[in-house]
Amino acid sequence: MKQSGFGIASLILGIVGLVFSCFIVGIIPAFLGLIFAIIALCQKNTKNGMAIAGLICSIIGIVFSAIIILLGIAGSGNTSQTVSTNKKQEEVRSSSAQTESTMISPGYSFDANGVTVTINDFNLDFTDYDDNYGLYAPSTGKKYICIEVTFTNNAKTDRYVSSIDFQCYADDSICDEKYGLDSDSFIGTSLSSGRKTSGRIYYEVPEDAQSIELEYETDFWTDHKEIMKLQ
């Protein structure tokens, strides 16, 4: 007895389907291999060895392809759910980042992830700066403001605090920070747990500014900002 042509074809297709079962297209040759194997097994006076092997390979290929398809469907559902969850989280972050400004007075304090920030005092027309050589005078139409601040590290680990953690806005326009106007000028330092440091931060703002605000990002993960209205 000779081998059936359908048996040979079923084995070839079964092997191809098994090899490509990790892809969706692998189910097509595997399914054809199954059909050819059944036809070959129904034929008389032919050898069934290849048809049986093709039948086994085709069935395995179909099963593997079906698993891949099901996993793909499940993954697509999880992706959609993840996108929806991320969108909700972004909405929460955006909502939490929008904080109304608070008109403050000297002594105002707030917590920034374990660091207590205290605005000890502020001068909205600071003129007592070192300017022996005329190098530090404000630009035409501008003036300096001075913020006296204390950082207290209440966390259990070291924290780095810096003047650039603040941003100043005059009539909603960002203002430039100025450095070295006197010996108390603060730039930044690393604070051990339980320690504190104080210094002055300066900004150049328009003389006719109607609104002056400070912003301080209290939580990096939520973008939450403490917004302090000075004027």
Q: What is the mean pLDDT of the segment spanning 170-186?
A: 90
What is the pLDDT at residue 76?
A: 65
What is the pLDDT at residue 89?
A: 53
Q: What is the mean pLDDT of the segment spanning 76-88?
A: 59
What is the pLDDT at residue 97?
A: 45
The mean pLDDT value of the chain amounts to: 84
pLDDT digits (tens, 9 = 90+) for 187-214: 999 999 999 999 999 999 999 999 999 9
Q: Where are the domains of the chain?
A: 2-97, 102-229
The identity of residue 193, as a single letter, is S
Q: Residue 209: CB partners within 8 Å, gap ≥ 6?
A: 170, 171, 231
CATH code that applies to domain 102-229: 2.60.40.1240
Q: What is the mean pLDDT of the segment spanning 5-13?
A: 84
Nearest to 144 by CA among 185, 187, 183, 202: 202
Above 70 in pLDDT, residue 171?
A: yes
**Least-confidence region, from 11-25, 156-170, 204-218:** 11-25
Above 60 in pLDDT, residue 102?
A: yes
Helical axes 27-42 vs 5-19, angle rounded to 10°: 160
Above 80 in pLDDT, residue 75?
A: no
pLDDT digits (tens, 9 = 90+) for 123-153: 999 998 877 666 788 989 999 999 999 999 9
What is the pLDDT at residue 99?
A: 57
Q: What pTM does this model have?
A: 0.56
Q: Residue 80: CB partners within 8 Å, gap ≥ 6?
A: none
Q: What is the mean pLDDT of the segment spanning 156-161?
A: 93
Helical axes 49-97 vs 5-19, angle rounded to 10°: 20
What is the pLDDT at residue 87?
A: 60
Q: What is the mean pLDDT of the segment spanning 100-124?
A: 93
Tokens of 212: 């002056």
In whole angstroms, what separates CA 190 from the centre of its chain?
26
HSE at residue 154, side-chain half, CA atoms within 13 A, is 10
